[in-house]
Structure 1
């Protein structure tokens, strides 16, 4: 397919389409008007010939009465009508036409001279048959009272005026229909970040098109945000298992002891499985695909949460206590519970240099409190991505997450309460 140059104006642009449409409409209107005008003029001409014929025939009785009074060979009955009572008296141009049909009006026209009409009849006078020829020039009478040319001019001006008005009307209608499309094209070309918009008086199809454009734009932005969130969440959550895999792989090459290598392989497999579950969970929360969280029922124990590393990594003067209500089941995947508790414990140990961190879990609540520095303008920012992940998991599975300072002013409390039960 041949490509057009960007600098070359498009033959199919709205501007050119409108120009071609107006030209085509003007041509059609002009031809149609001319045909109508020609038909109307022809009809008037034929009507005028009929009127002249009736006028000529109406002089038959007048001619007979005139002959009965004067017995002449010809007589001028009116300014335009002449009567001949002898065929030999006919003018040469009439006589040359040959025998004239009896009882009929005969019309003769030529391109070089004006035509004429002849009415041939006969009547009885003193027991004699007298021929009668009534003649009149085809242009001898003007039934338009001399205003035929003026009438033609007015008709032409009216025709041009109608074409002009209809052209303006078509242009207005075309602009009304096409202006929303031009607006949408400009908005698309300008790469605007806002929603597409057109006037409320636009046709329904264009309004529907605009709604779909806005829907696709929102979808595109949502997908971009989901990809960005997944990248952030994955980089945050996969750092530890990747470090475990790398460390176990390096250690495995250092010893040939079969039991040691088996242990490292188990660590690698466990970390890889954890990464797979983490990725699946992160994909779910960024896409918000959990439409029926109540279908999940996960039993939670202290061993499942693998909290040993938090006991060892906590500051020297900080104690971590865990209390899980017996028979606790939640509508969260186990990897999600680990991710929630892990992120909240990471934040708690970071801002608690001395004191106690308490973890309490039941079927309806997950609560982690500390007596550290609490929330302020600085560490509120440092909590960052971990708390955002907790918030998204809670939102996806029907839990409400809050983070607030303790009532006694020491430390803060992170609480998730199940509201979709």
Structure 2
């Protein structure tokens, strides 16, 4: 409706302007036509010394002001060598061209050429019919443009409306548009599908993260509660000291875990990713717990003294713990080798490697590693060994 009103309004303005142009142009043509009869009138006067001569069916020449008709006299005097118009938009309007010439006796005589405003028609004789035809053609053009634009806009808006309905629907798993849609709408649907997959992946990661955090916090809490209960059973100083040491060790581990998890969630560690900390073999406390939990697996750790890393101690120990636990989960017997340098960390095992059946289990254990690597500017890859069984987890500093 809005487009129709705008189209009709603009068409009326164009039609009105075009009509005025034709009217004014026709008046100018009549004026030039009237002036062109000057020499013809002078020749007529030389042949016939009459005071009024009909040069053509529409143009009359007057050779004195007294010879003018009463209607023409009423508008006298007329400017010399100019065309004067009166009532140009009226049916009884007229034009008068006033000039002077020297007759054959050497006398200066006036000349008045007159013609009616509507006496001549330089266009089609059926002016009204021509205007009606032009108006009809314009209306047809408007209708054609309206239908064309409606189909074009319908082809553009229909896929967008479909996408809107799919967004409102809770059952829609994948957004789709017709193959005839424009490329921009297809790209929009692809981006929506990409964002949906990203959202689902983030939700799954958050669930995995919550499950991991729950497990990491439940274990030290259970140790603390168990040690506290055991303390109440015996009053021996050695026994009390051992239980107290278990509580302190579990509390410190839980504190480190909570600190790392909060840093990941709040991303507080990004501003410290360029802060280097020197590590040695004594700063890594995972080898003892690994030997106790997996006695059939040979564990080796290679780290040079004073190796600078941009990980805090708690973060480095959590990274190694997760990587080693992941390797130990799929290595019943054999070896797990860990090598730490200032630019790379490598954990190699001789287990079953990566397959489709245990890929999800690998992902559950390594989510925290991916988060930590992303926060501190490290890359993380997990791949099968090329020439032997097992897989290798490789961390490399990007900057």
Could you say which TM-score interval applies, normalised by the shorter chain? 0.5 to 0.7
Alignment of 1:76-91 (within 5 A): 76-84=54-62, 87-91=65-69
Change in 2 beyond 3 A, CA 1:63/1:367: same
Instruction: Report deviation, 1:223.
Output: 1.7
1:233 pairs, out of 194, 212, 219, with 212
* Structure 1 residue 39 corresponds to structure 2 residue 21: yes
Larger-gyration structure (1/2): 1
* Structure 1 residue 62 corresponds to structure 2 residue 54: no
Change in 2 beyond 3 A, CA 1:247/1:25: farther
Which residue number corresponds to residue 336 of structure 1? 322
Secondary structure of the structure 2 residue equivalent to 1:59:
helix
Does the Cα contact within 8 Å between 2:34 and 2:97 map onto a contact in 1? no
Instruction: Report deviation, 1:130.
Output: 6.3
Change in 2 beyond 3 A, CA 1:253/1:55: farther
Instruction: Report deviation, 1:114.
Output: 0.6
* Structure 1 residue 190 corresponds to structure 2 residue 169: yes
Does the Cα contact within 8 Å between 2:85 and 2:96 map onto a contact in 1? yes
1:322 pairs, out of 285, 290, 296, with 296
Work out the CA distance in 1 between the residues paired with 2:301 and 2:175. 47
Instruction: Report deviation, 1:83.
Output: 4.2
Instruction: Give per-residue Cα distances to partners, 1:341-385, cap 9 Å, x unaligned.
Output: 77569xx8xxxxxxxxx565556764579xxxxxxxxxxx9x999
Alignment of 1:4-403 (within 5 A): 20=2, 23-24=5-6, 26-55=8-37, 58-67=40-49, 72-84=50-62, 87-101=65-79, 104-109=82-87, 114-120=92-98, 121=100, 123-124=102-103, 133-144=112-123, 146-171=125-150, 174-175=153-154, 178=157, 181-191=160-170, 192-194=172-174, 202=182, 213-236=192-215, 238-253=217-232, 259-275=238-254, 304-305=288-289, 322=296, 324=298, 327-329=300-302, 333-336=319-322, 339-340=325-326, 343=329, 360-361=335-336, 366=349, 389=364
Instruction: Report deviation, 1:128.
Output: 6.8
Work out the CA distance in 2 between the residues paired with 1:195 and 1:387. 31
Aligned-CA RMSD value: 5.1
Change in 2 beyond 3 A, CA 1:297/1:197: farther
Work out the CA distance in 1 between the residues paired with 2:7 and 2:328. 75
Work out the CA distance in 2 between the residues paired with 1:95 and 1:394. 109
Does the Cα contact within 8 Å between 1:108 and 1:116 map onto a contact in 2? yes
Instruction: Report deviation, 1:247.
Output: 1.6
Work out the CA distance in 2 between the residues paired with 1:341 and 1:138. 105
Work out the CA distance in 2 between the residues paired with 1:80 and 1:386. 105
Change in 2 beyond 3 A, CA 1:122/1:256: same
Instruction: Report deviation, 1:179.
Output: 5.1
Structure 1 unaligned residues grouped into runs of 5+: 1-18, 287-294, 311-319, 349-357, 370-380, 403-414
Work out the CA distance in 2 between the residues paired with 1:303 and 1:134. 122
Instruction: Report deviation, 1:188.
Output: 2.8
Instruction: Give per-residue Cα distances to partners, 1:219-261, cap 9 Å, x unaligned.
Output: 3222211111123334455554332222223333556665544
Work out the CA distance in 2 between the residues paired with 1:129 and 1:328. 129
Work out the CA distance in 2 between the residues paired with 1:211 and 1:178. 17
Moved more, 120-129 or 32-41: 120-129
Which residue number corresponds to residue 311 of structure 2? none
Secondary structure of the structure 1 residue equivalent to 2:390:
strand
Does the Cα contact within 8 Å between 1:297 and 1:329 map onto a contact in 2? no
Work out the CA distance in 2 between the residues paired with 1:62 and 1:279. 119
